[in-house]
Amino acid sequence: MAPLLDVRDLRTYYVGFGGTRVVKAVDGVSFSVDAGETFGLVGESGCGKTTTCHSIVRLLAPSARIVSGAIELEGEDLVPKSQAEMRRIRGRRIATILQDPMASLDPLFSIYDQVAEPAYYHQSLRGQALRQRVRQLLSAVRIPSPELRMKDYPHQMSGGMRQRIVGAISQAGGPRIIIADEPTTNLDVTIQLQYLNLLKDLQRATGVALIFVTHNLGIVAKMCDRVAVMYAGKIVEMQSVRGLFYRPRHPYTKALLDSIPKLGVKEPLCGIPGQPPDLSDLPTGCSFHPRCGRAMDRCRVEEPRQDDLDGAGTVRCWSPVEELAARG
Amino acid sequence: MAKPLLEVRDLQKHFAIGGSFFGGRRALVKAVDGISFTINAGETLGLVGESGCGKTTTSKLVLAAEAPTGGTIEFEGRAVAALRGAELQDYRRKVQVVFQDPYSSLSPRMRVGEIIGEPIKAHERLSSADVRARVAQLLELVGFRPDVARLFPHEFSGGQRQLLAIARALSTSARLVVLDEPVSALDVSIRAHIISLLEEIQQRLAVSYLFIAHDLAAVAHLSQRTAVMYLGKIVEVAESLELCAKPLHPYTKALFAASLPSHPDELREEIVLTGEVPSAVDPPRGCHFHPRCPFVMPRCAEHEPPLVELAAGHSVACHLY
């Protein structure tokens, strides 16, 4: 069966200063997402995870260019499409949930207007049917008394409620896939748990696929089926979530896992020395080698290729980690 | 036992809001509503809670940036409210702070050497050469080469800026550093580095920390004791490991249940709280937590439970116990 979304060798570069400075934000990224699956995209700030998502829905900054690669949604390549064609795909087939709900909601429009808009354009609902649909979407994201609250404006809602409204909007066009870019970063822990459970319930009800972009491995552990770890514009490791936590193969993945404090355990934490590299001035060879404890001479000169892990995933490393992770 | 470094008793901060010049109904926000805790020399007390629970107001009260509306803070055995002039300045020297956002807490127009040197000049009479030497020492303490003193903050990443903020907080030989969400804005790998560095500094300098955060795992990692706040009150306080192993208050249990697993097969008791934190303007009667509590009883809505010590060092404010 063909995957729902298939991204192959995607390269998105930011070009500045008249072409003299090129930032390779996404540099040869390939992954695929099946229908109903939850796929995690993990990495630290500036690793290219957000640019990857923005390339898929083509919401890139003017200085960004998709240099090469294919993004196939249900077998149809999105890269050659015009913005007008993309407008009919965004919201209808791919929806996005962004980090800051206050920035994704328009303060001048009522909740009803904003939730109804995708259903109006993409599902051609009008009148009572549209109103009925909005009511149903709001109760699906557990907004109490939806009939009353749909007349409210975003400022009358709490942070958690606003993010749930954004969730309702993402559902409104009936998409096959939702890209959630750090959707819970601004929420409190108990509200975060409510929201993550809500997304799971929506997924169960509609069978939509989710791409979860996050820097939080805890969210990955809770939500995702498969996960890709990004570093300096490349996917350095891709595995099932269990595989990743039990047997991380890339030294960067292992270091990330070792740097999370575990509840009730006072083991010393190991951070990763140094800083993530400047994407316009990458180190030679493997981009991670200056921070890697396992770096060899080869890592400094030759870029590792993407190796298959016996069908279980891929890793980009000349000397993958062999030992099993300590059980957390 | 020696006297604690900081002793807070029944601390209160109520803000009046609403009303106008011509009168009208005024309401009280009970941001901090009668909390007590102590911090010993060389110890870390963690303070966890969700937004709006009064953590940051507590830190402002401890820093003497706000005056409490009730209760007392004693530092080294002396009431902070009574300090004046040179004594108050000395208190500010000994109690320093690291803020959450290292982009807004460092002046973009000052060089690193000036940023870290300014508190030293304000509090001590030292020659410029001595100040420079002290700045160099502090930079080395947080892992920089001394020659970064001539750079500006924009030349550093977020994590490095937070290290500079830590160096500044330590520049006047502080006895207590208030850490207000110092790692929340940083990436995971950098977070671990800063937490380890804070531990190392504490061992070397015997400084105390008041560590405020919403990330339970990080708080429990760095602090010997942890206090949990909800709507202006401390609902539970215990040794951090004890609190993780045996949380008693339903809100603490819910916080632990809501914190994300560190492993996909980690078993968690699922306590999903309904609703959101109510407003501190008009908190619920009785126990503030009762409208969201899964174990609520009739008297929870009537009587506010006092904070009772159940086992050595483990106190909880709940009618269940």
| Closest approach of B8 to chain A, Cα-based (Å) | 27
Residue B93 has, within 13 A of its CA and on its CB side, a CA count of: 16
Asked if B264's CB is within 8 angstroms of A241's CB, the reply is yes
Q: Do A271 and B50 touch (CB under 8 A)?
A: no
Classify each residue of B248-277 as buried b or exposed e, where b means 16 or more C-beta atoms within 10 Å of its C-beta.
bbbbbbbbbbbbbbbbbebeeeebebeebb
Q: What percent of chain B has pLDDT over 70?
A: 98
Residue with the bigger pLDDT between A69 and B263: it is: A69
A327 shares contact with chain B (CB less than 8 Å): yes
Distance from CA of B81 to the nearest CA of A (A): 33
B196: chain A residues, CB-CB within 8 Å: 268-271
User: Which stretches of B48-187 are DSSP H helices?
Assistant: 55-62, 85-94, 112-123, 128-141, 158-169
CATH 3.40.50.300 for the B6-316 domain, yes or no = yes
- The predicted model gives B90-97 an average pLDDT of 95
Q: How near does any CA of chain A get to the CA of B121, in Å?
A: 32
Chain A environment of B187 (Cβ under 8 Å): 44-45, 215, 276
- Between residues B40 and A21, which one has the greater pLDDT? B40
pLDDT at B165 over 60: yes
CB pair distance less than 8 Å for B188 and A190? no
The burial of A15, by beta-carbon neighbours within 10 Å (0-12 exposed, 13-18 middle, 19 or more buried), is given as middle
> Is residue B195 within a helix (H) or strand (E), and if so which, with residue range?
helix B188-205
The domains of chain B are located at 6-316
Which pLDDT does position B5 carry in this prediction? 95
Handedness of CA A33, A38, A41, A45 (dihedral sign): positive
Higher pLDDT, B271 or A220: A220
- Percentage of chain A lying above the pLDDT 70 cut: 98
Cβ distance of B261 and A44 shorter than 8 Å: no
The answer, for A255 touching chain B at a CB cutoff of 8 Å, is yes
| Dihedral over alpha carbons A46, A290, B262, B234 (to 10 degrees) | -70
**Angle made by CA atoms B21, B23, B29, in degrees to the nearest 5:** 95
Report the DSSP pairing between strands A38-42 and A226-231.
parallel
**Residues A189, B50: C-beta atoms closer than 8 Å:** yes
From first CA to last CA, the distance across chain B in angstroms is 28
CB pairs under 8 A between A and B: 123
Spatial neighbors of A257 by CB under 8 A, at least 6 apart, are: A217, A245, A248, A325, A328
Looking at residue A328, what is its pLDDT? 43
Average pLDDT value for residue range A248-276: 85
3-state DSSP assignment of residue A17: helix
Q: Tens digits of per-residue pLDDT, B171-224?
A: 999 999 999 999 888 888 888 889 999 999 999 999 999 999 888 888 989 999
Candidates A215, A206, A125; CA nearest to A168 is A206
Which pLDDT tens digit goes with each residue over A36-65? 999 999 998 889 999 999 999 999 999 999
Would the pLDDT of B65 be above 90?
yes
Residue of B nearest to A46 (CA): B187
Alpha helices in chain A (DSSP H): 49-57, 83-87, 101-104, 111-122, 127-140, 146-149, 159-172, 189-206, 217-223, 241-246, 251-258, 297-301
Residue B23 scores a pLDDT above 70: no
**Is the per-residue pLDDT at B43 higher than 60?**
yes
Closest-CA residue to B11 (of B299, B208, B229): B229
Give all strands of the β-sheet with B70-75 in edge-to-edge order: B23-39, B6-20, B70-75, B78-79
| % of chain B at pLDDT higher than 90 | 67
Looking at residue A18, its pLDDT comes to 76
- In the Cβ-directed half-sphere of A171, how many Cα atoms lie within 13 Å? 25
With tokens 């001479």, the residue in question is: A297
Q: Given a cut of 70, is residue A30 above it in pLDDT?
A: yes
Per-residue pLDDT tens digits for A93-145: 999 998 887 788 999 999 999 999 999 999 999 999 999 999 999 998 988 88
Judge: A259–B157 Cβ closer than 8 Å, yes or no. no
Pick A190's closest partner by Cβ from B220, B258, B266: B258
Measure B169 CA to nearest chain A CA, in Å: 22
pLDDT of B256 > 80? The answer is yes
Q: For the ranges A7-11, A17-21, B160-164, which has the lowest average pLDDT?
A: A17-21
Reported as a pLDDT band with limits 50, 70 and 90, residue B25 is low
Q: Cα A76 from chain centroid? A: 21
Mean pLDDT (chain A) is 90
pLDDT at A199 > cutoff 50: yes
The answer to whether B214 contacts A189, with C-beta atoms less than 8 Å apart, is yes
Nearest CA in chain B to A325: B263
- H-type alpha helices, A217-296: 217-223, 241-246, 251-258
Which tens digit of pLDDT belongs to each residue from B132-162?
999 999 999 999 999 999 999 998 988 899 9
* B83–chain A nearest CA distance, Å: 37
Task: Pick the residue of B163, B183, B189, B241 with the most A CBs within 10 A to test the interface with A by mutation.
Answer: B189
- Rounded to 5°, angle at Cα A113 from A108 and A119: 145
> Could you report the predicted ipTM of this complex, rounded to two decimals?
0.80
Which positions in chain B touch A292 (Cβ < 8 Å)?
Answer: none
Question: Considering Cα of B188, then B192, then B197, then B199, what sign does the dihedral take?
Answer: positive
Q: Are B304 and B286 in contact (CB under 8 A)?
A: yes
From the CB of residue A214, how many other CB atoms can be counted at a distance below 10 Å? 23
- The owner of tokens 């407003």 is B279
The answer to whether A44 contacts B188, with C-beta atoms less than 8 Å apart, is: yes
> Does residue A225 sit at the B interface (CB-CB below 8 Å)?
no
Query: Quick one: pLDDT at residue B21?
Result: 64
DSSP H helices, B206-262, are 216-222, 240-245, 250-258
Predicted pLDDT at B289: 92
The closest of A235, A253, A326 to B188, measured between CA atoms, is: A253
Quick one: closest CA in A to B53, which residue? Answer: A188
* Nearest neighbour of B273 by CB, restricted to A190, A264, A275: A190
User: What pLDDT is recorded for position A269?
Assistant: 81
Q: Which pLDDT score is estimated for A166?
A: 93
State the average pLDDT for chain B.
90
Say what the pLDDT of residue B19 is.
65
**Which of A230-239, B21-30, B97-106 is predicted least confidently?**
B21-30
Query: Which residue of B262, B265, B273 is in closest CB contact with A260?
Result: B262
Which tens digit of pLDDT belongs to each residue from B224-251?
999 999 999 999 999 999 999 899 999 9
Res A266: pLDDT: 77
pLDDT band at residue A280 using 50, 70 and 90 as cut-offs: confident
Out of B191, B192, B260, whose CB is closest to A222?
B260
